[in-house]
């Protein structure tokens, strides 16, 4: 469900599903873990193609941040509508840096 | 999924009933259907609020009530009134402890954001339902559990 590309030493991970919910969260977490274990610690999660995340999906994203540890960064790009609202409502917008676009997120992490 | 539109005799109300078996892959279908039913009455933000609440409620039934066991029933009844949408999620699993719902609130998200250990990875569903709906009530009677969620039309 994920594809990734390296830009300026930042791994950009695109989500190829419209919904990251309880049925998809385990696979999401597995694939993200592989990205993290490949040695990357500056990541951008591109949610621009996602229109729904539930608490299981959100929990999976949080667990990836925890796995990255204090030296890593996981920025969120392109969250909109219900997805952006979920981050705000749960105060996860204080935990993750949210960017309008992948370009903006990469620029910040590679600065 | 078994959609069955029934004309309700109650004035200004129409209802729709949907059911799925306890399979997380099917939750999205029912959530989109409920959203579609409410969309004429609710704003986009309120339809989002209903959709996430329905998803969290059904996920809880499947994961905790039926403990992931497939082939069990989950029903959703939606009644549209002029001024509110009433959604019942009905199951026949072991009942939930009502204090879990009573204690669920935005306090769940009052974590210290500078301490990653405090940031929750789970246990957020009931809090999200409480925060997204105007009224939430849980009853369990004769082996049937009913989570009633009400969203008022803004």
Q: Does A8 or A70 have the greater pLDDT score?
A: A8
Q: Which pLDDT value is given to residue B89?
A: 98
Q: Which pLDDT value is given to residue B4?
A: 47
Bin B10: left if φ > 0, else alpha if -120 < ψ < 50, else beta.
Answer: beta
Name which of A22, A82, A91 is nearest B63 (Cβ-Cβ). A22
Mean pLDDT, rounded, for A69-75: 92
3-state helix, strand, coil in chain A (%, to 5): 45, 25, 30
Q: Which pLDDT value is given to residue B131?
A: 98
Which residues are CB-neighbours of B122 under 8 A, at least 6 positions away?
A55, A56, A59
Cα separation of B92 and B103, whole Å?
23
Mean pLDDT, rounded, for A85-93: 98
> Do residues B63 and B25 touch, judged by C-beta distance below 8 A?
no
Give yes or no for residue A98 having a pLDDT over 50: yes
Cα separation of A68 and A70, whole Å?
7
Helix or strand holding residue B28 (H, E): helix B27-38
B interface with A, Cβ–Cβ < 8 A, is 24-25, 27-28, 31, 44-45, 48, 51-52, 55-56, 59, 62-63, 109-111, 113, 116-117, 119-122, 124-125, 128, 131-132
Strand order in the sheet with B4-6: B4-6, B14-21, B73-80, B84-91, B144-152, B135-141
Name which of A55, A86, A91 is nearest B113 (Cβ-Cβ). A91
Give yes or no for residue B42 having a pLDDT over 90: yes
Average pLDDT of chain A, as a whole number: 97
Q: Which pLDDT value is given to residue B13?
A: 76
Helix or strand holding residue B54 (H, E): helix B44-60
Mean pLDDT, rounded, for A56-62: 98
Domain coverage including residue A10: 2-110
A interface test, pick of B23, B39, B124 with most A CB neighbours within 10 Å: B124
User: Nearest CA to CA, how far is A21 from chain B (Å)?
Assistant: 8
User: Nearest CA to CA, how far is B11 from chain A (Å)?
Assistant: 32
How many domains would you assign to chain A?
1
User: Nearest CA to CA, how far is B15 from chain A (Å)?
Assistant: 25
Mean pLDDT, rounded, for B66-80: 97
Mean pLDDT, rounded, for A85-95: 98
Q: Which pLDDT value is given to residue A70?
A: 85
> Do residues B93 and B61 touch, judged by C-beta distance below 8 A?
yes
CATH number at residue A33: 3.30.750.24
Give yes or no for residue B1 having a pLDDT over 70: no
> Do residues B41 and B80 touch, judged by C-beta distance below 8 A?
yes
Q: Which pLDDT value is given to residue A46?
A: 98
ipTM above 0.90, yes or no: yes
User: Nearest CA to CA, how far is B149 from chain A (Å)?
Assistant: 17
Is any Cβ of chain B less than 8 angstroms from the Cβ of A95? Answer: yes
CB count within 10 Å of CB A68 equals 19
Question: What is the third-level CATH fold of B4-152?
Answer: Heat Shock Protein 90 (3.30.565)
């Amino acid at each position: 469900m994920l594809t990734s590309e390296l830009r300026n030493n930042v791994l950009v991970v695109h989500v190829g599903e419209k919904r990251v919910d309880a049925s998809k969260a385990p696979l999401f977490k597995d694939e993200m873990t592989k990205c993290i274990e490949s040695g990357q610690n500056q990541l951008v999660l591109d949610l621009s193609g996602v229109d729904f995340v539930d608490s299981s999906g959100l929990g999976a994203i949080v667990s990836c941040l925890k796995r990255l540890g204090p030296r890593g960064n996981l920025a969120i790009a392109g969250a909109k509508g219900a997805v952006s609202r979920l981050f705000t409502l749960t105060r996860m917008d204080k935990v993750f840096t949210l960017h309008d676009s992948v370009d903006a997120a990469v620029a910040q992490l590679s600065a | 999924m078994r959609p069955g539109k029934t004309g309700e005799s109650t004035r200004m109300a129409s209802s729709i009933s949907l059911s799925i078996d306890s399979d997380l892959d099917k939750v999205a279908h029912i959530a989109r259907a409920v959203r579609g039913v409410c969309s004429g009455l609710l704003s986009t933000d309120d339809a989002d609020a209903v959709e996430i609440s329905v998803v969290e409620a059904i996920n809880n039934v499947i994961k905790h009530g039926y403990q992931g066991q497939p082939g069990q029933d989950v029903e959703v009844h939606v009644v549209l009134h002029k001024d509110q949408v009433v959604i019942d999620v009905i199951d026949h699993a072991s009942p939930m402890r009502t204090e879990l719902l009573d204690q669920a609130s935005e306090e769940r998200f009052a974590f210290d954001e500078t301490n990653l250990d405090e940031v929750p990875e789970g246990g957020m569903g009931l809090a999200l339902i409480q925060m997204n709906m105007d009224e939430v009530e849980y009853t369990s009677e004769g082996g049937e559990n009913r989570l009633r969620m009400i969203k008022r039309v803004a």
